[in-house]
Amino acid sequence: MNTSVEGERRTAEEPVRPLRASVVRRLPGIGVRLALALAAVWVLFLARGTSAGPAVDDPGRFLITVLDGVTFAGLLFVVASGFTLIFGLMRTVNMAHGSLFLLSGFIAIRLQQAMVGKTRNIEAADVTVLDWVVPLLVGALVAAVLGVVLQQVFLRWNQGQELRQALITLAISVVLADQMLRQFGGLALSMVWPGPVTHFFEIMGQRYSTSRLFMLAVALVVGLALWLWLNKTRMGMVIRAGVDDEPMVRALGINITLVFAVTFFVGAFLAGMGGVMGASFAGAATGSDGAWLLNSLVVVIIGGLGSIKGAVAGSLLYGVVVAFSPAYLPSRYTFYSIILTFVLLALVLAVRPYGLFGRPE
């Protein structure tokens, strides 16, 4: 979406400096390359005493970890692309994105239970593809409609006041979290993948679940649809134009208010889809909303707020780090894996304060 990726453009905050200063300025870049090289060498050859072991000794485990990372990145992309789509066009940071995610997950779980006719111990064999797809669509639709209602009631009239909008949506997320706790209780519920996709297969001596590949496939379909929508339809063209120059689009007589509502619908729909996929992948519980708001934020901070390309890049980087850090940290220190997420964030921000594909405000 964000096609004009600037290379070495100097902003006014970085005036021309003498040679020594420019070396200092390139230090972060050198540091990042060094850190990447060290990480690669560690994973490939040195990682003894970790739960996975060096990749040259155990390539199967390495492959599994890569697959874990990429499939998780698929889920991350579905959720974060909705977040970044909304921001890209409207400059609205929707802090209730995680709440929409969780609400959709809960609704889909309830609906699936009703469709299967059991409330507990649902086996994958009980679940047909329809029992998964219908709750997915219904959950996502509820999230999308709620999203549009929030946008029309709370965000439409204060367009452009980013912090005010962020605080309003934060407060709404507090209310939604409390109401969901009342409605669905504090226990973790989980959605069941449909039977036809729940198998295991052998790959390089390791068992791997097809449901994770299914999740990746859904994410790819979503990504493809989003790309087609944004690049091949008139509405997508208007949205891309709106991202670049909203007042001009308005001046050309296009009903941008309608486009805003549609974009919010799609963004919230993606949060809802992600919620159902996440509920099938790891269950839904109180607190998932905060965790997935964090995930979306990390992805868009890494990738650049408002850029779909950035959402892809951010999801892949973050997904890979999340998958590799528990496997390739020394076994006694695996609980430090959250630190690596932070290191990733710090590395990206040190070189590009607005994310990989982001533009300064």
Partner 1 sequence: MSARRPLSPGNLVALAVLVFLLVLPIFGTEFFVNNVMTEVMILGLAAATIVFLASCGGMTSLAQLLFAGIAGFMFGNAALESGARGLTLGWPPWIAVLFALAVTTVVAFLLGALGSRTTGIYFLMLTLVYGVIGYFFFAQVVTVSGPGGVTSITAPAPLNGRVPLYYAAVGLSALVYLAFRAIGRTNFGLALQGVRDDPVRMASLGFNVPFHRTLAFTLAGFVAGLSGLLNVWFNGQIDPASIAIGPTLILLIIAVIGGISHYEGAWLGAFVYVGASNYLRELPLVDRIGITPDRFNTVIGLIVVLIMVLSPEGLVGIAGKGRGWRRGSPRARSIEPPTTSETMEGTAR
Contact status, residue 80 vs residue 259, Cβ threshold 8 Å: no
The token duo for 244 is 């670049």
- Interaction residues for partner 1, span 309-338 (CB under 8 A): 335-338
d(CA 305, CA 239) in angstroms, rounded, equals 15
CA 160/CA 361 separation, integer angstroms: 12
Euclidean distance between CA atoms 152 and 55, whole angstroms: 52
x/- track of binding to partner 1 for residues 130-159 (CB under 8 A) = ------------------------x---x-
Residues 281 and 193: their CA atoms lie apart, in Å, by 8
Q: Distance between CA atoms of 78 and 274, rounded to whole angstroms?
A: 6
Q: Does 189 sit near partner 1 (CB under 8 A)? A: no
* Binding characters for partner 1, 256-285, by CB under 8 A (x = yes): ------------------------------
Judged by CB under 8 A, the chain residues 198 through 257 that form the site for partner 1 are 245-248
The CB-of-303 to partner 1 minimum distance in angstroms stands at 12
CB of 248 to partner 1, least distance (A): 8
Query: Is 16 near partner 1 (CB under 8 A)?
Result: no
- Residues with Cβ < 8 Å from 38, sequence gap 6 or more? none
Rounded CA gap, 221 and 243, in Å?
A: 24
Least distance in Å: CB of 19 to partner 1?
A: 19
At which residue do the structure tokens 């890494």 appear?
302
Which run of H or of E encompasses 319?
Answer: helix 308-328
Among 298, 312, 316, 322, binds partner 1 (CB under 8 A): 298
Minimum distance from residue 158 beta carbon to partner 1 (Å): 8
Q: Least distance to partner 1 from the beta carbon of 191, Å?
A: 23
> Which of residues 31, 53, 196, 290 is near partner 1 by CB under 8 A?
290
Give the total of residues touching partner 1 (CB under 8 A).
54
